[in-house]
Amino acid sequence: MKRRLLVAAGVAAALTGVAACGSDSSDDNKSETKPGNTAPAAGNGKTVRVWLMKGTAPDDYIAAFKAKFEADHPGAKLDVQIQQWNGIGQKVTGALASNDAPDVIEAGNTQIAQYGASGGLKDLSSKVTELGGKDWLTGLSEPGKVDGKTYGIPFYAANRVVVYNKELFAKAGVTPPKTRAEWLETTKKLNSGDQQGIYLPGQNWYFYSGLLKDEGADLATKAGSSWKANLDGAPAVAASAFYKELQALGKGPKDSDEKTQPEVVAADGGKIAQFIAVPGEAETVIKANPALKDKFGFFPIPGKDASKPGAVLTGGSDLMIPEAAKNQDLAYDVIKQFNSDEWQTKLAQAIKFLPNKTTLSSALASDPGGMAMGEGAKNGFATPNSPNWASVEENNPIKAYLTKVMTGGDAAAAGKEANASIEKTLNTKN
């Protein structure tokens, strides 16, 4: 996640043994049983460089964070450098291979496997317990691991929800559904005349991957040393059939993704009953069409049954420490402060994205979109944890597969074609 969601939705990461981050292994074990008992690393006139991505945190948050860190580490200076998403992969790869890497780097969660496989990241596995890893969102913590070692510490998360027009729902006499079957029936009632029951482009592969997960399959799985894609089996056929039925209850294009969705919904003037998006996209729509102010509500993507919401692909960012970082002990203290409940809560409330722990679900209690997102995140998951997954997304055969299904093609045949492309990329040796 690429801009903030795909934002690295997609976007974030993972990190081991941190003798170099301030203590020996026995000290690590003691600190893990009593989180927060490790004394701050000494400042000693050092400058700690931190790369944060553009849009991650507002200036006042960064300023307050910097003031707190420097007060806790007399003599240290915190230099937060804002990076652009465009071209960041090459820039990070170069930094990891250099002798002058920043001390902390933020990365999208889908990028961590690639960076971890390069051998240029510090293994932070021994710090997971101290940082409260048992409560991390799965969709962020799993991508942070490579071969069982943790290189990326979850920073923040986001996932898609259903944004709905409260007025149109009220006029139709319907309420937010809890199951897929209810969702279809609700959407049929909302789909009348020039009103769309839902605006759903045919290539929203993020949404599709959640449907596939609910049917019991992942986009791709690893067996031994090889990857196998799963778009041709019964789970994929069932997932694409539901997608096709739902998509037909609106006028969304079958051959494009959701990039132009905010503009379409804004221009519609209030005749689109639902769309699938990160909650913040509703604000983008309202800015383009102020007449829609106060008309939107949010609910988690419905699941197959009412026991839990539908599975959602979790995007976001992780924090990592390069092996070449000169101040690894101070770098870990930066990550520890970012990971604390206080600073996680402040960040969530500032950017309206999810904190990294399930125990902080109340951070967005006053934000309906955030609450819906948090409920969905309980059933979150990540993209296949391969260094080559970013290359799959670049050419994304899943989009072509979905368009073929939406336009009447055979789902199993289209799935086999997509599988071949995905497997070729994932099984390419770097």
CATH of the domain at 231: 3.40.190.10
Q: Are 287 and 332 in a shared domain? A: no
Counting Cβ atoms within 10 Å, is residue 423 exposed (0-12), middle (13-18) or buried (19+)? middle
Q: Are 266 and 332 in a shared domain? A: no
Q: What is the maximum alpha-carbon separation in the chain?
A: 70
Residue 354 placed within a domain: yes
Contacts for 100 with CB less than 8 Å, ≥ 6 apart: 324
Q: Are 154 and 30 in a shared domain? A: yes
Q: The tokens 């409920």 sit on which residue? A: 375
Residue 192 placed within a domain: yes
Q: The tokens 């605006």 sit on which residue? A: 199
Q: Are 26 and 126 in a shared domain? A: yes
104-119 pLDDT, tens digit each: 999 998 889 889 888 8
Among 253, 274, 308, residue at a domain's last position: 308
Q: Are 169 and 107 in a shared domain? A: no
Q: Could you give the angle at which helices 397-406 and 411-426 cross, rounded to 10 degrees?
A: 180
CB atoms within 10 A of CB 160: 28
Counting Cβ atoms within 10 Å, is residue 32 exposed (0-12), middle (13-18) or buried (19+)? middle
253-298 pLDDT, tens digit each: 999 999 999 999 999 989 999 999 999 999 999 999 999 999 999 9
pLDDT of residue 37: 47
Q: Are 152 and 241 in a shared domain? A: no
What's the domain count of the chain? 2
Whether 28 shows a pLDDT value over 50: the answer reads no
Predicted TM-score (pTM) of this structure: 0.85
pLDDT of residue 20: 25
The Cα–Cα gap between 132 and 340 comes to 9
Q: Are 229 and 339 in a shared domain? A: no
Residue 363 placed within a domain: yes
- Going 370 to 375 to 378 to 383, the CA torsion angle's sign is negative
DSSP designation for 303: B
Instruction: Place 140 in a pLDDT band, splitting at 50, 70 and 90.
Output: confident
The Cα–Cα gap between 304 and 307 comes to 9
Q: Are 224 and 279 in a shared domain? A: yes
Q: How many residues does the chain have?
A: 430
Q: Are 357 and 322 in a shared domain? A: yes
Residue 395 placed within a domain: no
Q: Are 323 and 268 in a shared domain? A: no
Q: Residue 59 — φ and ψ, nearest 5°? A: -60, -40
Q: Are 183 and 297 in a shared domain? A: yes
Question: Token digits for 112?
Answer: 């961590």
Domain that includes residue 271, residue range: 161-308
Collapsing DSSP to helix, strand or coil, 336 comes out as helix
Q: Are 168 and 293 in a shared domain? A: yes
